[in-house]
Chains A and B, each alone.
Chain A
Amino acid sequence: MADAAPVLELRGITKQFPGVLANDHVDFDLRRGEVHALLGENGAGKSTLMSILYGLYTADSGEILMNGKPVAIHSPKDAIELGIGMVHQHFMLIPVMTVTENIVLANEPVRAGVFIDEPAAEKRVEEVARTFKFAVDPHARIRDITVGQQQRVEIMKALYRNADIVILDEPTAVLTPQEAQELFEILRTLTREGISVIFITHKLNEVLEIADRITVLRRGKKVETFPREGATEAGLARAMVGREVLLRVEKKPAQPGDLLLQVEDLAVRDDRGLEAVRGVSLDVRAGEIVGIAGVDGNGQSELIDALTGLRSVSRGKILVGGRDLTRATARQALDAGMGHIPEDRQRRGLVLDFNLAENLVLHDYAKEPFSHLGWVNPRRWIRWARGLLKEFDVRGGGPTTRGSSLSGGNQQKVVVAREVSRDPSVLIAAQPTRGLDVGAIEFVHRRLVEQRDAGKAVLLVSLELEEILSLSDRILVLYEGRIVAEFPPDVTEEEVGIAMTGGRQREAA
């Protein structure tokens, strides 16, 4: 389906930031009607390259050719005029305005010089929607539609401006698996209509599903461009990371020991006062990883908060090593041997304005030897931090670096380092690899298995089914605040998937 002649060519693009060579003589070409994936770890230079193409940065050297002719792109305006549209990871939409208004914004058809010609605008938007088969209500307000639909509005915005090249920056990061499938369907329609798509991602399975060709960047350099045929996840991962990566976690069979975490008939209310967890009972033994699968919003967050003392329990019991922690505060839960890798490292897991040493003592700042009689000992924090940062291979800063200046993967390593170093008996890992790239995911997974093998009870809560399946020794499915199914580790993705949407429960009823 893809034409051989490139519509767009980047040649020898180089961009130096102080201290970092973000792009180093990168070549890239795009054919008409193809999806070309740009794959790389965080910080590999994908976003920089696309920012140069979209006129947000200017390259230090190299040239951009469109249909064989060199072009100069100094601003997004130039890019738009050349038919390049970009959908950013963070949408640039105005929530109180309608879909149509957002699409025509800054390009409104006008009547009598000053008035927006609304009928004409709607007609154009409908035209775009029809051509590319978008199912979005043009009169709906942005704040009322789903994230997936908002993304479609962003794409329509580009198409409305006659883009024939659309850049998508990590488009699936914000989508549910179903929405991602819908997006892929839209992309297939676009390419059939001759639109070319650049798809920035670090997710391997997506690339193999949607891309025609795949260009891998590593540390600012282009590694290779692969055709989809013959590309494998393992091969791409190796190209991305520069070494063999274990996509599946290697682990020995579990040897469950003592019962460390016991939850009986737990009920928890959410912020609106509705019961989000409705009678959950579960056990986690020493030396096993129990995974909780489920679609987002089925009570996972409330369950985790209740277990870690961050939310009050309305009914039921929580026992850690036989000790009743039902009414415990966060402090008491921590002191009772609870470790918690929170689902949002930036909102909860780290104080971004604290340095790494301060972050690493977040739970134990008031304990010896980190402080004495209320006086803190920052020098000891720094020494402690230096050791941990080395052990957990945190890159991009030392003990006095501020948390906010680390990349997501390294921030997560800091969180993991802190939780694991406290030697908890029960470790609750919530979405521990969200937003991380393959190298960091492998690292976190290995650490979790290590904790299991060291005789800890690990409760893994994740929205990534693949993660649950590859790590867990037992799998529980949370649906509408209840555990609706339990599976052994060798279950198939389909079986769990059905239970996640309530299928199993309906069968039983």
Chain B
Amino acid sequence: MSEPPDPIGIEEEPHQAPLEGDPEAYAPSVARRLAFYQRAGGIVTPLLTAVFAFFMGGMVVLATGHNPLRTYKAIFEGAGLNWFFHFGNYHIDVPFTNHHIWFWWDTSTNHTTAYNLTQTLLTTTPLVLTGLAVAFAFRCGLFNIGGQGQYLMGAIVGVYVGSRFVGMAHLPHVFLGIAAAAIAGALWGAIAGFLKATVGAHEVITTIMLNWVAYWGGSYLFGRGGPLQNHVDRSIPISDDVAKGAHLSPIWGNPALQALHSGIFISIVALFVFYLILNRTTLGYEVRAVGFNPEAARYGGISVARNFIIAMAISGLFAGLAGGLDILGWQFRLGVLDVQVSNIGFIGIAVALLGRNTAVGVGLGALLFGSLFTGTSTRSLDPNVFPPQLAGNLALMIQALILLFVGADLLILYIWQARRKLRLPGSAKAAAAEEAV
């Protein structure tokens, strides 16, 4: 937190607790509190947060008369994560050739374990991107709740481009679809950034409103009689199918059963891009400066307004990409129902918070939530262990608990820091800073 503007501006000791002496300390903004959370701790706190959330979830499982350990084991297996523990003498095919090479694991998706894992990774792919969408804006001091709307815009434009231009060649069509989806998301995000930069409209409000616009816009476009409804059966509120040529190539599993598609590479690359932009470009420097201390950034010659717009556009680009990949990767069509029940963008908030807005954290957070949702789905979870129709709720509950503990974390860290400042100068750094000449 910045920094902390001292109301009186005269300080003897440097203030370790970022909230000290700040008029906002008593009612810090969401972004400010979360920035504090992000700085404090390290990897330990998010781990504890997750463990604690799972523990509480386990208590609930126990209360319903089931065995929490067995349930979590079943979820773990439902997510296919046990696949990694089955070593053997297998091989994988080298693409575009008849050769194959030796491999440690069995990649055949005829086994449930491997299949489940492909489904986990399929869910993780967009979560990485919607997580980055929240994280990037956050690094600029903005709280992007609009990942869902940006995701939907990406999906809508993705399905439109994918289902048109039927005769196009494979690669250009895929590229066009993905690019259009990303740009749609970027524009959707940039609207909120633009409103913030020009008239100061708070991004939390505007992004929530834009989510609803995307939600009802999608419902209208693909609804019965809607302009983008399919041309085959006018009784079903769904889009046209994406042309075969625009499908992302399946890389693992049977395409008839939702194979893992090559979009996962785009997600992984996005993690690197996120890191590189923030840490290796002048744009990233500006974004971080604005995020930490907009006043100092302005003084440094950085246009705060411009960075608000760019950061929201890049955020939206990540989320729009997620929508495009889902459509061109495995959904291949978009119905009113999909628009209305999807919550990939919202889960991105939890991913970013748990991942502390860093590339590595978002990657791991997305994998955690991807596993959780796949592992508790009716398809994957062993019904003898826990009723799968309830398990989806368990996943949502754990997600909610994690968010809750992220909030509680803040409180605990704040108290801990305040205590340390007053009484327990625990770390050498704190004491050295306190007493440095």
A, B co-complexed: yes
* Partner-contacting stretch, out of B3-11, B43-51, B161-169, B321-329: B3-11
Contact of B288 with A by CB under 8 A:
yes
Among B12-20, B113-121, B144-152, B380-388, the stretch that binds chain A is: B12-20
B3 near A352 (CB under 8 angstroms)?
A: yes
CA distance A44 to B18 in the complex (A): 23
Q: A152: shortest Cβ distance to chain B, in Å?
A: 16
Residue among B12, B303, B423 with the highest chain A CB neighbour number at 10 A: B12
Tell me the bound Cα distance from A395 to B5 in angstroms. Answer: 22
Find residues 267-314 in chain B having any chain A CB closer than 8 Å to their own CB: 279-286, 288-289, 292-293, 295-303
Report if A346-B4 is in contact (Cβ < 8 Å); known contacts: A56-B423, A334-B301, A354-B292. yes
Chain A residue at minimal CB-CB distance from B9: A344
Pick from B245-253, B332-340, B426-434 the stretch touching chain A. Answer: B426-434
> Which residue on A lies nearest to B20, using beta carbons?
A90
A280 CB–B CB distance under 8 Å: no
* B187 interface residue (CB < 8 Å to A): no
Known A17-B434, A395-B436; contact A342-B299, beta-carbon cutoff 8 A: yes
A202-B12, A351-B293 in contact; A407/B281 too (CB < 8 A)?
Answer: no
Cβ of B39 under 8 Å from chain A: yes
Q: How long is the Cα–Cα vector from A375 to B18 in the complex, in angstroms?
A: 30
- Residue A71 at the B interface, CB < 8 A? no
Contacts A56-B422, A363-B300, A406-B436 hold; do A353 and B5 have CB atoms under 8 A apart? no
A404 located at the interface, meaning its Cβ lies under 8 Å from any Cβ of chain B in the complex: yes
Q: Does A331 belong to the interface (CB within 8 Å)?
A: yes
**A465 interface residue (CB < 8 Å to B):** no
Inter-chain CA distance A354–B436, complex, in Å, is 19
Residues of A within 8 A of B293 (CB): 347, 350-353
Question: Is B295 a contact partner of A366 (Cβ separation < 8 A)?
Answer: no
Q: Flag if A351 contacts B292 (CB, 8 Å).
A: yes
With a cutoff of 8 Å between Cβ atoms, the chain A residues found around residue B11 in the complex are: 346, 408, 435
Interface centre among B1, B286, B296, B436 (most CB of A within 10 A): B296
Closest chain A CB from B336 CB (angstroms): 43
How far in angstroms is the closest Cβ of chain A from B364? 23
A351-B436 contact, Cβ under 8 Å, with A343-B9, A435-B11: no
Of the candidates A44, A342, A352, the one whose C-beta lies within 8 Å of that of B292 is A352
Shortest Cβ gap from B20 to chain A (Å): 8
Cα of A173 to Cα of B9 in the assembled complex, Å? 9
In the complex with contacts A56-B422, A348-B295, A354-B289, A411-B428 CB distance below 8 A:
no
Q: Cβ of A479 < 8 Å from any Cβ of B?
A: no
Question: Which one of A170, A173, A331, A365 lies within 8 Å of B285 (CB-CB)?
Answer: A365
Report the Cα distance A479→B21, complex, angstroms: 30
Q: Which residue from chain B places its CB closest to the CB of A22 in the assembled complex?
A: B435
Question: B39 and A353: CB pair below 8 A?
Answer: yes
Q: A330-B301, A376-B285 are in contact. Are A45 and B292 (CB under 8 A)?
A: no
Q: Chain A nearest CB: distance from B24 CB in Å?
A: 12
A147 touches B (CB below 8 Å): yes
Q: Is A89 within 8 A of B12, CB to CB?
A: yes
Contact of A396 with B by CB under 8 A = yes
Residues of chain B contacted by A326 (CB below 8 angstroms):
none
Task: Choose among A47, A350, A365 the residue that contacts B13 (Cβ–Cβ < 8 A).
Answer: A47
Residues in B neighbouring A170, C-beta threshold 8 A: 10, 12
- Checking A346, A348, A395 against B437 with a beta-carbon cut-off of 8 angstroms, the contacting residue is A395
Question: Bound complex: CA of A220 vs CA of B303, how far in Å?
Answer: 45
* Interface residue A41 (Cβ < 8 Å from any Cβ of B): yes
Complex: chain A residue closest to B289, CB-CB? A351
Q: In the complex, what's the smallest C-beta–C-beta distance from A380 to chain B, in angstroms?
A: 13
Closest Cβ of chain A to B21, distance in Å, is 6
Give the shortest distance, in Å, between B311 (CB) and chain A (any CB). Answer: 16
Complex-state Cα separation, A331 to B301, whole angstroms: 4
Task: Indicate the size class of the contact surface on chain A.
Answer: 35 or more
Residue of A nearest to B436 (CB): A396
State whether B298 touches A310 (Cβ < 8 A).
yes
Are B289 and A362 touching (Cβ within 8 A)? yes
Say yes or no for B425: interface residue by CB 8 A criterion: yes
Q: Which residues of B contact A374 (CB under 8 A)?
A: 281-283
B258 contacts the other chain (Cβ, under 8 Å)?
A: no
B292: chain A residues within 8 A (beta carbon): 351-354
Q: How far is the CB of B413 from chain A (nearest CB, A)?
A: 16
Question: In the complex, what residues of A have CB within 8 A of residue B20's CB?
Answer: 90
B378 touches A (CB below 8 Å): no
Within the assembled complex, what's the spacing in Å between the Cα atoms of A338 and B110? Answer: 70
- Does the CB pair A330–B299 fall under 8 Å? yes
Query: A346 to B6, Cβ gap below 8 A?
Result: yes
- List A contacts of B8 (CB < 8 A): 147, 173-174
Shortest Cβ distance from residue A56 to the other chain B in the assembled complex, whole angstroms: 6
Per-residue 0/1 for A317-358: is the Cβ within 8 Å of any B Cβ (1 yes, 0 no)? 000000000000111001100001011101111111110001
If A18-B431, A346-B6, A376-B282 touch, whether A351 touches B297 (CB-CB below 8 Å) is: yes
A269 in contact (CB, < 8 A): no
Q: Report the bound CA distance from A362 to B296 in whole Å.
A: 9
User: Is B2 among interface residues, defined by CB-CB distance under 8 A?
Assistant: yes
Q: CB-defined interface of B83-97 with A at 8 Å, one 1/0 digit per residue? A: 000000000000000
Chain A minimum-CB-distance residue to B300:
A362
Q: List 22 A-B contacts (CB under 8 A).
A: A17-B435, A19-B431, A90-B20, A329-B303, A330-B300, A343-B9, A347-B6, A348-B296, A350-B296, A351-B3, A351-B296, A358-B285, A365-B286, A374-B281, A375-B280, A404-B3, A405-B16, A405-B432, A407-B433, A407-B437, A408-B11, A409-B437
A→B interface (CB under 8 Å): 17-20, 22, 41-45, 47-48, 56-57, 89-90, 147, 170, 173-174, 202, 219-220, 308, 310, 329-331, 334-335, 340, 342-344, 346-354, 358, 362-363, 365-366, 371, 374-376, 378, 395-396, 404-411, 434-435
Given contacts A17-B432, A363-B301, A374-B283, 11 further A-B contacts (CB under 8 A): A17-B431, A19-B428, A43-B434, A344-B6, A347-B5, A354-B288, A358-B285, A375-B280, A378-B279, A396-B433, A405-B16
A-B pairs with lowest CB-CB distance, top 9: A17-B431, A18-B428, A362-B300, A347-B5, A331-B301, A396-B436, A352-B3, A435-B10, A353-B292
